[in-house]
Each structure stands twice: as C-alpha cells, then as structure tokens.
C-alpha cells in the first residue's frame, strides 16, 4: 500500500490483494482477542491484586497470546480463501483504499450469500464476543472501583485501565459498525472513513494513548514543550 501511494500506481494483482486482505484480517482479529485479554488482565489487577502473580504468570500470558495468534491466523486464512474462491468476471476496480471484504464481494459474479453469512459469523466470534467479554470485565472493574474508600484510590485504579478503554472504544466501535451492519446499509464512503479508524488512526494513537500513563514519557514531553 505504501509503495502504491509513493509511485501513484493504483493496481494490485489478485494474489497480492488476497495477501493484503489476509494480513489485515489476521492482525485485526488477533487485536480483538488481545484487547479482550488485556481487559481480563485489568480485571485481575483491580479485583484480585494479591492473586495477580499466580493468575497472570509468564506461562499463562505466553499461552494466551499464542492462542490468540494461532486462532486468528487459522480462521482468517480460511476466510480469505473462501472469498477469493468466488468467480470474478466483471469489473476489476475496487472502490476502496485497500482490499477489504465487502468491496471485494461486490466484484464477485456468483452468489455471495454464503460468504456474507460466514463474514458475519466470523465477525460475531472475533468482534462481538471479545467486546462482550470486555464489557463484562469492565462492569466488574467499575463495580470494584466504586467500592474503594477514597477518591484518590478510585482515580488511581481507573487510570490503570483508562488507556485500554480508549483503544477499545476506537477500535471496536469502528469494527462493529463496519462488519456487523446489514449489507443493504453499506455505504462505500462511510466504509472508507470507518476503515481509516481501525487501520490507520487506532494504530497511530495506540503508542500515544498507552505512553501518556508513563511518568518518564510525561516528564520528557514537558521538557520538550518547555524548550
């Protein structure tokens, strides 16, 4: 994509398009699972702080991360294969800035109903289920924070998860609207704008959002701004 932006070539081969979609889906689905695991990590940190070293030990963390990547890679390779096994015999112009699912399905000649149902099913598993798990974790987190005696301790506990919550709202908000809307309501212009959120803006804001809780980073920023 960066190469095409640099030299203004707006062509891509079918194989490269499939590879691009596959990577986007793998990274996106894995991030959904990892954000759910991070919510569970926050839940254990605030609700069971004394048990944290036992519950979230190094071995468990490695297993959870490995499981997320393995699941995302396997399912999304199958998803991409299903989409690109369709016949493409009409227009070959994609009205999008990368090879996303629905712009590609619009170019297919055959019946895409089964593929669309598969897309919604996968989106439910990789977007809605993690999102509901995150909501469940945060409902318990907020309940525990409100029970804390002082305002200072409540603010400190909430700041532990505030950065993660901001990323969740940005990423899941755009992904849910994009992939779980009825197909009749898909507007190409709206899809492009929403795609920018989870492919460009959220990854760009991630380092900033997470780093703003780091005291060393804040001190360095203050020094830089003062200069």
pLDDT of residue 214: 75
Q: What distances in angstroms separate CA 43 from CA 161, 162, 199, 221, one per listed residue? A: 9, 12, 27, 30
In this prediction the pTM is 0.85
In three-state form (DSSP H/G/I as H, E/B as E, the rest C), the secondary structure along 90-131 is: CCCCCCCCCCCHHHHHCCCCCCCHHHHHHHHHHHHHHHHHHH
pLDDT of residue 67: 96
CA 214 – CA 199 distance, rounded (Å): 25
pLDDT of residue 70: 97
* Cβ atoms of residues 55 and 42 within 8 Å: no
Residue ranges of the chain with pLDDT lower than 70? 1, 183-186, 213
Q: Domains of the chain: which residue ranges?
A: 2-226
pLDDT of residue 58: 93
pLDDT of residue 186: 62
pLDDT of residue 8: 76
pLDDT of residue 37: 94
pLDDT of residue 183: 63
Q: Report the CATH number of the 2-226 domain.
A: 1.20.1070.10
- Nearest-10 Cα torsion for 218, 197, 29, 211: 0
Per-residue pLDDT of 121-163, as tens digits, reads 999 999 999 999 999 999 999 898 888 888 887 887 777 788 8
């Amino acid at each position: 994509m960066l190469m095409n932006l640099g030299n203004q070539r707006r062509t891509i081969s079918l194989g490269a398009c499939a590879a691009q979609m596959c990577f986007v889906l793998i990274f996106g689905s894995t991030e959904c699972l990892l954000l759910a695991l991070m919510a569970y990590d926050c839940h254990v940190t605030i609700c069971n702080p004394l048990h944290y070293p036992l519950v979230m030990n190094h071995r468990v963390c490695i297993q959870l991360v490995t499981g997320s990547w393995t699941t995302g890679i396997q399912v999304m390779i199958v998803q991409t294969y299903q989409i690109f096994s369709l016949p493409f015999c009409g227009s070959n112009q994609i009205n999008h800035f990368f090879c996303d699912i629905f712009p590609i399905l619009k170019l297919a000649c055959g019946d895409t109903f089964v593929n669309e149902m598969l897309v919604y099913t996968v989106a439910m598993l990789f977007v809605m289920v993690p999102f509901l798990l995150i909501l469940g974790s945060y409902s318990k987190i907020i309940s525990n924070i409100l029970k804390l005696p002082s305002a200072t301790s409540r603010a400190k506990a909430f700041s532990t998860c505030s950065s993660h919550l901001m990323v969740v709202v940005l990423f899941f908000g755009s992904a849910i609207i994009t992939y779980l809307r009825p197909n009749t309501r898909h507007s190409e212009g709206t899809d492009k704008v929403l795609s920018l959120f989870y492919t460009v803006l959220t990854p760009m804001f991630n380092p900033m959002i997470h780093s703003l809780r780091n005291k060393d980073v804040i001190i360095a920023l203050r020094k830089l701004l003062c200069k």
